[in-house]
Structure formats: C-alpha cells, structure tokens
Structure 1
Amino acid sequence: MGKRWSTLVLLVCTYAVAAALPVRAEEVDDLIRSRPVEAFSLTPDWSLEAYAENLETALGTTRSVAAVLGDANRPLETCSGTQQQALPEHYARTDHPLTSGQILHSSDRFCWDDGDSEVTYWQPQGITGSSDADDDGLWGENRVMLVSWHYDLTGPDKGVRVSFLDVANRRYRHVLLVEPTRTTTPNYTAVPIHAGGLAWLGHHLYVADTSGGLRVFDVNRVLEVSDAQDVIGRSGSAYYAHGYKYVLPQVGAYKQAVQTPCTPSATQLCFSSLSLDRSTTPDTLVVGEYRDQRSTDAAVDGGRVVRYRVDATTRLPVLTNGKAVAQDAVTSPRSNVQGVQTWNGRYYLGRSSNRQHSWMYSGTTGGATTTNSWAVGGEDLYHEHGPGTTAGKLWTVTEHAWSADGGTFVDKRAIFAVPLTDVD
C-alpha cells in the first residue's frame, strides 16, 4: 500500500477512535470566550412605580437634577500628592513590571472633600454620567457625573448614596437611594445593596444589584426631605433620610431568576459592575461579573460580561416575550475585574488588586488580552463619549481610603479618566 493510502487509512482510524471517546469538558484558556446567553434573561418589574408616585404626591417636594446641583454643598478638590499615587501613571509594582508603552496616563482627575476622602464606612463604587444619559453629553445644560457609595458599618444599613457631581463648577451633593414601601401610607426604606455599577439612560438610573439584577431609579423624582434626624422614612409628619436632604426613589427592577446570595454559576450571574456602550446599534447595557479568582469551570472562568440591548426611544432594555434577553455573553480570562466597558467590539476590563496598582486589560472575543497599568482600587467604568459619539474618556473611581484592617489611613481615593484610545 502506498504512502498516500497509508496516511488516509491512519486519518480515518484516528477519526473513528476520537469519535468513540467521550467528549472532554472544555478547558479554560487565556482568551475572551463567547458563551451561551439563555440563563441571563431578566424579568421587568415596575410594581414600585405606583408607590413612588404616591410618595412623590405625599411629599410634594420634587426637585430637578439642576436644582440638586445648584444646592451642591461639597467641593471637588485638586488631588493631593498622596492621592495621585493611586493613578495609573504612578504604577509602582516591581513584581509585575510593565514597559513605558504599557503605562496609562490620566487626562483628567479630581478628588473628594476631606470628609469623603477619609470616611471609612462609605465606599465609592459605581460611576456614570450625562454622556450616558443623553447624546449631547449633557443633562439640560449641565455636565454631570454620578457616583454610588456603599455603606459598610455594623448597625442599621444606610444602603446607598449617590453623589451628583457638577463637573463644570467642581461641586457635588449626596442623595440617598430609597425603596418605596408597599403600604397605604407612603413611606420608604434604605436600599441595602452593594451598588457596584451605574448606568444613566434618559431619566432612568440603573443600579447593579449583585444578586438580584438591576434596580431602576427615576432622576425626575428626586425628593427633598428633612435632614434634621439620622433616621429613615416617615417619623411623625416629616420624612427623613439619615441626615441627607434628598432621596431618589426606586421605580422598577429587572430581576434574574435566581436571587440567592450570589455565587457565579451556570444559572446565576453576579451583577458587579455596569456601563453603557453607545457604539452598538442599538446601545447596549454592559454587565460585568467580579470573581476573586479564576475557575476551572470554563463557563464561569474569571467572570463574565453580559450585554443587553437598549431601545433607542424608551431607553429601556429591549424585551423578547416579556423578558430582557442577553444579546451576548463572554468569559474573561482575568479575575478580580471591578469595571467593564465595551466599545466597537473591544472589551475593557479594569482589575483590582487590593491596595496595590493593578491592570487594565483589553481584547476582542476569541482573542487574548493586552495589559496596561491601572489604578489602586479602581472600580466601575464610565465612557464619556466624544463629539458625535466618538471615543472619549474612560473614567473610574477608586475606593481605598484605609488599609485592609481599617487601621491605617492610606488616602487613595480619586476620580480620573484616561483617553480610551490610549488603551491598547
């Protein structure tokens, strides 16, 4: 038998043996991998909207975003030398050295007032802005950013506050998120979630609820309350919000089917971060999942990124058979991702690394990731688009003010941006 026929017989036999063997489970690798989306459908629930309307009527103190900004009571400060050390241009890790071409440089930056830079029990998490909310990048006449803070202290959980930042005037004010109660007498409670991601679409603010999915708040319903007491809800004839002057009520939610305390699995997604991609048609909401290590389960790996289409008119997730069905999903080959943004088919993955500088990874589906320097304690991502919805600035907020044991003040809180086009 000639060499050609021997080779043919060998190939046929090899194929037959391979076909007879059990299919081996897919192994994890260092590529961004496309995954099935069936488990990630969300069910809309707008049952709170009627209670929010009743609350608005009872208080009669609705305020616009412009009014809240006009009442801003805290300054955005120039970052100190110590705070600037958290920025990616000051990358200082010798255990993972980077070349000069991998070092990102912030193009804009500012910091909180001293009280918010040093507080231990409020921790900044999510970030969005008027560039998400409207095509022209403004809300009315204002360039606005919103930053969520998670409450972390033993005792009554004050939930989540959102800082409304007037970028032009470099001032801000905190507003407490509240959930209307389903009671005859209008009332509300705090919202005890981590709020690791924000996206502002039209008059709706979407907030990541780690186990539940997405909560929705209406920025046209900011309500003024009494700031005289550190209690929550109605007391006597007045309403309070733990000393805050304004509250923002929840009006809806998009819920995943499994809502137990979140562990990434085939049937449950952890909603850790949130952003908006305006480069797609229609726009897409981008959900990032945090994992503190990689997994041998290829379906989970270092965490997933799942995207949902947004209706161009309503600015709500597109529904199919009554549910928001994921457009696509991928697994990340990198763990500890605190913020995710997509743009023109590319994934941007901001990793955290405890109280050290970390890395910004980027790549496309099916490909490996590149590495750039990133912040100390970088969180959610926000893409402030350029003119005509072109690539602009990629913003994040850093969370660390204290050492891991809470005993040492480390002064690493900042808000900064890098040009999106600088990220390889």
Structure 2
Amino acid sequence: MKHRGRHRRRRRGRALRAALAGTALALTAAATLISTSQATVADDPGALKPVTSSAGTAPLRLTERSVPQDWLKRLSSEMGRPVAMDAVLADADGVLREADSCPADDRRALPVEPEATRAYCWDGADTGGWEAGAVTTSGDADDDGRWGPHRVILSGWSRSGPVTGGPGDASAAGDTADDADGRPGLARVAFVDRDAEGGPTYTWVLLAVPVEEGADYRALASSVSGMVWYQDKLLVTADRRDGSALYVYDIDRVQRATVAGPAVGRVADGWSAAGARYVLPAVAAYRATSPGAPLPGGISLDRSTTPDSLVAHEATEEGDDGPTRLWRYAFSVDPVRAGLLATDPGATAEAVAAYETKLTDVRSVLSHRSGWYLGRMTGTPDERGTLWRQDAEGARPTRCGADETHRCWSGDAASLSYWQETGEIWSQSGRMLFALPLDSVDRSLD
C-alpha cells in the first residue's frame, strides 16, 4: 500500500560542502582553459521552433503493445510471488559513498556551475564494465516524493557484449535484440534507498522482457539513456535495433532470481539474472509506427502540464547536423491505465506538442513550465558539456561564474530528473550521482 508522507530535507555536512566546493574550484580553473573560439549554431541556437504540421508530428506516433496477462501470471507462478519494494531495498548490494570520500577522477564528472549540493559515487568494483545512464526518482513517481515510506532513486546502467544463455525467439512486447558485436547486452537498475542508515544503499535489478508465453525472459539488450518512474510504472528507452521505442515495467513486479550466474532467464536449476539477485520483466512496450521514425534518446517527467506529460529529445548520432526534435506525450488519466501514456482506441499515443532546436549532440532533457533544459555534449569526451534553457523566445546557457566559457556542465550527464517536492534536479555522470536545485540552474544562466 502506498503511504503518503512529507519530506524533510537532510542537512549537508561540512565535509560534503568542502569537498564539493573544492572540486568546483578545481573544475572552474580547468574550464577557463577550454577554447571558446569555435562558433556554431550551438553558441546561439535561438528560440524553439514549434512543429505543427501533421507531416512533422505523424512520425512521433507510438503504438502500445501489452505483454499478455497470462504470460505475466505464468512467469510469476513459476518464479514465485513478486518482491515488495521494502524487501528489495532492505536486501542491499552496496552503499554509495559521500563525495568527500570519492576518488578525484570521479569527482571531475561533477558540474562546475551550478554546483552540486548532494553527490555520491559508486564503487568502481561494482560498476566496472557498466555504463551509467538515466536517473529517475520517487519524486517522479508521486508528488509527495516517496514510495511507501521510502525516498528512492532509480539509476540505470548498461553493459556491452553477448549475454550467456537466453531464448532466441521474439518477445510479446518487442523483437529479440541482437546482443553481440560489442553492442549493449544487459540493462540493470539500481534501487537506491536515500534514507538508509549509514548512507544511501542500492540493490541491483536486471531489466528483462518475457518470452515463450511467459515461460522465460530475455535481457533488455539496450543502453538506458532515458528513464521515468511515474506512478507504479517505469518507462525505459530502447535502442532502434530492439524494435521498440520505450519499454514499460511495473514497479510492483520485481521477481527474485534463484541462481547466481552469468546467464539470463530459465536455467537448469532455477532462474538467473546475470549476477543480479532480482529481475524486473516488462509489461508493455511502445513502438514507432513509421519506419525510420525518431526515437527518444532521453526522457523525463513534466508535472507542470495538465495532465502530466512525458518529454523526450531525439536520439541522434554524434556529429549529427540537426535540428534535434523535442516532443511530449500526455499520460493517461484513467486509473485503470495508471502510469501509461494516453492512447486512442487504436492504442496509438500521439505527440501533444513538438519542437525543433538547433542544438546538436543533445543528451538530456527536462521540461518545466515554459522552459526546456537541454544537456549538450561538447567536443571530445575530455571536454565539458553545456546546459541550456530554451523556450519560444530564445536560449541561454549556464555559465562558469565570471568566466566566458559556457562549458561548465557535466560532459557525460545523460539524464535530468526534477524532484518537485524538494526543487532538486538529479543526474548522473560516470560514477557520480548528484543533485542541485533547479533555482541554481536558473541563476547560472548567462
């Protein structure tokens, strides 16, 4: 049962403030050395351009396809009853470290300006070979910021390479992905208990897709570039080769794996989840209706619209000349369809608004009221990125204090999630999980 409660902000310790301040000073000094001589449209992308023609919005349509209920019932009956959130959080795999005890190399991933006010790092031994992706929180799931009594952060990760075992036929929600040739082969989510005694703890849960009429499951072989937890559903982006644009997971359907091995799915003596002790099977998927249609590269929740909406930026290749498309879908207000997108009788979700931006290499998106916040990769992987606020009137980037450069955002940040109840934005870059007030972003705009 979901219990509503009020959040009490945790006070930051002096050690954390000192560590973050010291890191920001060092990064600011490094940022001043970055050349700003390259003049591109990204230096002044101007206003967002609304896309209103049917030819422009039609490719954004998605078709909803649910996993049959008898598949899900069969999987649960053979694996055992789903595991409650309380039990998943209590069965932790590790503890996140405060910023002041994180390696300096990891802290370099933090933004220069605006400065992080909360920051943690993952253990390198537990994340080696995995790529950090999207972040969403119980602040997305419910406007009181809690799931039951817990404040929870979900952190997505993916790993390239082939997966041991697993079925070879198509799933109910989407086509089986090819996971060979160094492409992403596994996707998992860390369920982080923010309020755990002794610091935030986390538990790994593998993302999977039911196959063989619920007799088995395969890995979600995709990078996790976008993720939104809304009500009891978790929406996750998928690569184009997977055949779906978004997968949907029911947060109350976490299953317990019984075998600790590298395989995924049913094995001779039980159920395996590539080393994780829990697995979350998909309950639905959204597929593009047009061949070659743009797919979401990043997604986030916007509670400032009526109804609440899912916003997305277009997934593009590095160096794409643009423009980059932005759009939103409305969430359903039907209680029977909690957490799902609004669809017509034909199970089609239409974009309710769409725009084009001249910004290229967009890697994160957040919409709040009239502004769109866009995280942009800049130049080489060693250079820092830029965070822009763009709307119908123009665009402004955050700047590094009094310095001329705007490259003061975290270069690898792949997600933006607004925790409405606290006013914080959460993101993740490399092994750093961090938060900062949305107000501080607006104050840093040039």
> TM-score, with normalisation over the residues of structure 1?
0.79
Query: What does the per-residue CA deviation read over 1:125-175, in whole Å, with 9 as the maximum and x for residues that have no partner?
Result: 111010111121100000001111111135654420111001111100111
> What residue number does 1:134 align with?
142
> What residue number does 1:180 align with?
210
Q: Secondary structure at the match of 2:155?
A: strand
> What residue number does 2:330 align with?
309
> What residue number does 2:125 align with?
115
Mapped partners of 1:290, 1:46: distance in 2: 24
Mapped partners of 2:344, 2:75: distance in 1: 32
Mapped partners of 1:70, 1:351: distance in 2: 37
Q: Secondary structure at the match of 2:395?
A: coil
Mapped partners of 1:50, 1:114: distance in 2: 40
Q: What letter corresponds to residue 246 of structure 1 in structure 2? A: Y
Query: What does the per-residue CA deviation read over 1:22-44, in whole Å, with 9 as the maximum and x for residues that have no partner?
Result: xxxxxx96432111322211111
Alignment of 1:203-222 (within 5 A): 203-211=232-240, 212-222=244-254
Mapped partners of 1:113, 1:61: distance in 2: 31
Mapped partners of 1:316, 1:290: distance in 2: 21
> What residue number does 2:201 align with?
171
Mapped partners of 2:320, 2:268: distance in 1: 52
Mapped partners of 1:284, 1:145: distance in 2: 20
Q: Which has the larger radius of gyration?
A: 1
Q: Which of these residues, 86, 106, 116, is aligned with residue 66 of structure 1?
A: 86
Mapped partners of 1:49, 1:171: distance in 2: 33
Q: Which of these residues, 48, 59, 62, is aligned with residue 32 of structure 1?
A: 48
Mapped partners of 1:338, 1:200: distance in 2: 19
- Closer, same or farther: CA 48–112 of 1 in aligned 2, 3 Å: farther
Q: What letter corresponds to residue 191 of structure 1 in structure 2? A: L
Alignment of 1:224-239 (within 5 A): 224-239=256-271
Q: Secondary structure at the match of 2:296?
A: coil
Q: Secondary structure at the match of 1:221?
A: coil
Query: What does the per-residue CA deviation read over 1:312-344, in whole Å, with 9 as the maximum and x for residues that have no partner?
Result: 332321113431110111112211111100000
Alignment of 1:154-165 (within 5 A): 156=164, 157=179, 158-165=185-192
Mapped partners of 2:119, 2:107: distance in 1: 9
Mapped partners of 1:160, 1:145: distance in 2: 16
Aligned residues: 352
Between the aligned residues of both structures, percent identity stands at 30
Asked whether the equivalents of residues 45 and 357 of structure 2 are also in contact (C-alpha less than 8 Å), the reply is no
> TM-score, with normalisation over the residues of structure 2?
0.75
> What residue number does 1:198 align with?
227
Asked whether the equivalents of residues 209 and 220 of structure 2 are also in contact (C-alpha less than 8 Å), the reply is yes
The answer on 1:396 being equivalent to 2:427 is yes
Mapped partners of 1:174, 1:159: distance in 2: 12
- Closer, same or farther: CA 286–231 of 1 in aligned 2, 3 Å: same
Query: What does the per-residue CA deviation read over 1:38-76, in whole Å, with 9 as the maximum and x for residues that have no partner?
Result: 221111101344312210111114101221100012010
Asked whether the equivalents of residues 259 and 269 of structure 2 are also in contact (C-alpha less than 8 Å), the reply is no
- Tell me how far 1:293 sits from its aligned partner: 3.1
Mapped partners of 2:186, 2:320: distance in 1: 30
> What residue number does 2:115 align with?
105
The answer on 1:85 being equivalent to 2:108 is yes
Q: What letter corresponds to residue 234 of structure 1 in structure 2? A: R
Mapped partners of 2:360, 2:297: distance in 1: 13
Q: Secondary structure at the match of 2:207?
A: strand
Q: What letter corresponds to residue 76 of structure 2 in structure 1? A: E
- Tell me how far 1:244 sits from its aligned partner: 1.3
The answer on 1:422 being equivalent to 2:404 is no
Mapped partners of 1:72, 1:307: distance in 2: 35
Asked whether the equivalents of residues 174 and 244 of structure 1 are also in contact (C-alpha less than 8 Å), the reply is yes
> What residue number does 2:344 align with?
320
- Which structure 1 segments of 5+ residues have no match? 1-27, 90-102, 260-266, 296-300, 400-412
Asked whether the equivalents of residues 294 and 334 of structure 1 are also in contact (C-alpha less than 8 Å), the reply is no
Q: What letter corresponds to residue 144 of structure 1 in structure 2? A: V
- Tell me how far 1:294 sits from its aligned partner: 4.8
Aligned Cα root-mean-square deviation (Å): 2.0
The answer on 1:46 being equivalent to 2:66 is yes
Asked whether the equivalents of residues 193 and 210 of structure 1 are also in contact (C-alpha less than 8 Å), the reply is yes
Query: What does the per-residue CA deviation read over 1:198-252, in whole Å, with 9 as the maximum and x for residues that have no partner?
Result: 0011111100113221100111110001233221111224111112110000110
Q: Secondary structure at the match of 1:63?
A: coil
Q: Secondary structure at the match of 1:37?
A: helix
Mapped partners of 2:130, 2:69: distance in 1: 28
